[in-house]
Amino acid sequence: MKENLAKAVLIGMLLPAISLADWKDDVGFTALQARLGGATPTGLGIDVTQVEGPDANGYYMPNTANTQFTGKTINNVTGTSSGTSGHATIVGSYFYGLTMGLSPGIDPIDVYEVNHWLGDGFLRSYTRFDPRTETRRIHNQSWVGAYPNDAQSIDVLRRIDLVAERDGVLFVAAVENGAGTEIPKIPTSAYNNIAVGLSNGVSSYGPTLIEVAGRVKPDIVVPQPTTSHSKTSYVAPIVAGSASLLLQSADADYAYLTNSQKVLLTKALLMAGATKLEFPDWRKGFSTPSTDGTVPLDYRYGAGQLNIDNSHRILTAGRQEASGSSEVSVTGWDIGSASSTTVRQYYFDVPAPPASSVNSLSVIVTWYRKITSSNGNPRVLTPSLANIDLHLYTADGFVRGDLRDQSVSAVDNVEHIYIYGLPAGRYVFEITFNASWTYAVAWDLTQWPTVRPDLDGDGHVDADDLALFQACATAPGIPWTGNCAAADFDDDGDIDQDDFALFQRCFSGPDVVADPHCYP
């Protein structure tokens, strides 16, 4: 008999909220609205599911009388909550609320109590039955849990992955609160989901500990929206709501794609559009940085901070198919399939960045873990996962040149290349496979301003910049000469210890992105 969860923790607290008014700026939503105006998607036409752990009274339903939910159809699928949950109300407000979140057009909404959802209500975990068929497009999971028996937790993860591909459902799951806490076993450790952490790093660090240990999670991070809504519970629905905006646009513009393909694409878009300049110490891996490409993301920050404007801009740049004889643009995406003997190539030209700027390239490839279901009690769920790798090379015409970077994890279903300070030139990124598989890829080249102490404009403040600074140094009250204006960081006419102090604040070292906020 299936046991209830050993714990189903609501990962949020209920306190008076003091708004951090710029969080919508930070995740790119304000920029999206400024760019699209009245054409900004709202999540209209995207129906969703909210799964909630019960509070101390057994309540799991949001307060449907709350003005955030006026006009919405919120279905109590489990049917046992006689009262409302403050946690569920806040999660729902950030997911589909009329003003608090990013996606006021979402409707209708199904709400489940977590044990019912895990059991006969939906997943039917650890039984002889397959999960029920789902028509809702997104599931938000602002809870974490585990069974005493890992076999049951693994069964849950496989069922989530099965539904994601079979029915085209995007599962968004919060990680645990607390810097350096372990990645939760369920539902966060699924392959075919998006795991969400906090931008301030006060949430779980990877790698995963179950169902193949060593995988990267979280996938993406989000800044806390208010001083009191500072928990992972309240940032997961922001990602879920952002996903609804992309799905709405994909439904309108790429109706020929299946729901399963759109969900896979949405994951790639969200991760490729994520930004990293908020994290000067972003690196693949964490305590032991991965320099060989075997860890695709940062164990703390994933692919970086959600930026829905970037992600939507990549979507609307259009599908651009792999080719060995034609270029793609510097921003775009593709959905493709390939065999173990196939190499997918995407050639592109990188222009010189504007003055005092550097090029930043982000490429994400992701694919489903497949689950085969067969008779048994419990149901026999057999996973399979292709090993897909990503390489970036220089190029001359349509001839591959030198290796520039690679992402070659043997255990993950995501690969990522990120280069800050990519020189102008011609490049090709290649995707290789060890099995016939479907993949989604999204890429984006952006330009970012350099900090003033980055005197050679390569994105890093290192020994090369120090040499340029020293060549210009004078003394207090002694004017600089020649072409040394750039090294007069305090603009007082000389290049002295005050300027060196500013240089030191920005020093990052070779191949480390300089903190964009280091310079006053």
Q: What pLDDT does 15 receive?
A: 41
CA distance 135 to 327: 38
DSSP string, 142-157: -EEEE-SSHHHHHHHH
202 in the same domain as 70: yes
CB atoms within 10 A of CB 449: 14
DSSP string, 455-476: TT-SS--SHHHHHHHHHH--BT
Q: What pLDDT does 102 receive?
A: 98
Nearest-CA neighbor of 283 among 268, 293, 273? 293
Residuewise pLDDT in 10s, the chain (520 residues): 334 554 565 555 444 444 444 899 999 999 999 999 999 999 999 999 999 999 999 999 999 999 999 999 999 999 999 999 999 999 999 999 999 999 999 999 999 999 999 999 999 999 999 999 999 999 999 999 999 999 999 999 999 999 999 999 999 999 999 999 999 999 999 999 999 999 999 999 999 999 999 999 999 999 999 888 989 999 999 999 999 999 999 999 999 999 999 999 999 999 999 999 899 889 999 988 899 999 999 999 999 999 999 999 999 999 999 999 999 999 999 999 999 989 999 999 999 988 778 889 999 999 999 999 999 999 999 999 999 999 999 999 999 999 999 999 999 999 999 998 899 999 999 999 999 999 999 999 998 877 888 888 777 889 998 999 999 999 999 998 888 988 998 899 999 999 999 899 888 888 777 777 777 6
The amino acid present at 182, given as its one-letter code, is: E
Nearest-CA neighbor of 222 among 142, 302, 141? 302
Q: How many domains does the chain contain in total?
A: 3
Residue 302 lies in a domain: no
CB atoms within 10 A of CB 35: 14
Percent of the chain exceeding pLDDT 70 equals 96
Residue 299 lies in a domain: no
Cut 0.75: pTM above it: yes
Residue whose structure tokens are 């009274």:
57
323 in the same domain as 177: no
The amino acid present at 334, given as its one-letter code, is: D
492 in the same domain as 439: no
Residue 293 lies in a domain: no
The span from the first CA to the last CA of the chain, in angstroms, equals: 62
CA distance 155 to 480: 69
Residue 515 lies in a domain: yes
Residue 284 lies in a domain: no
> For 127-146, how does the pLDDT look when each residue is reduced to its tens digit (9 = 90+)?
999 999 999 999 999 999 99
189 in the same domain as 60: yes
CA distance 495 to 486: 10
128 in the same domain as 58: yes
485 in the same domain as 440: no
Q: What pLDDT does 511 receive?
A: 72
> For 413-467, how does the pLDDT look when each residue is reduced to its tens digit (9 = 90+)?
999 999 988 999 999 999 999 999 999 999 999 988 778 888 887 778 899 989 9
Residue 44 lies in a domain: yes
192 in the same domain as 127: yes
Domain with residue 160: its CATH number is 3.40.50.200
Residue 516 lies in a domain: yes
Question: Tokens for 141?
Answer: 């999971």
367 in the same domain as 461: no
DSSP string, 418-429: EEESPPSEEEEE
198 in the same domain as 148: yes
Please provide the average confidence, as pLDDT, over all residues in the chain: 93
Residue whose structure tokens are 């008076």:
16
Residue 170 lies in a domain: yes
* 244 contact partners, CB below 8 Å, separation of at least 6: 41, 43, 46, 48, 103, 105, 106, 137, 138
Instruction: Mark 417-426 as b/e (b = at least 16 C-beta within 10 Å).
Output: bbbbbbeeeb
Its domain, for residue 422, covers: 308-449
434, 449, 464: which is the final residue of a domain?
449
Q: What pLDDT does 17 receive?
A: 41
Per DSSP bridges, beta strands 138-141 and 170-174 are parallel
420, 449, 478: which is the final residue of a domain?
449
Domain with residue 372: its CATH number is 2.60.120.380
DSSP string, 356-417: TEEEEEEEEEE-PPEEEEES-SS-EEEEE----EEEEEEEETTEEEEEEEEE--SS-SEEEE
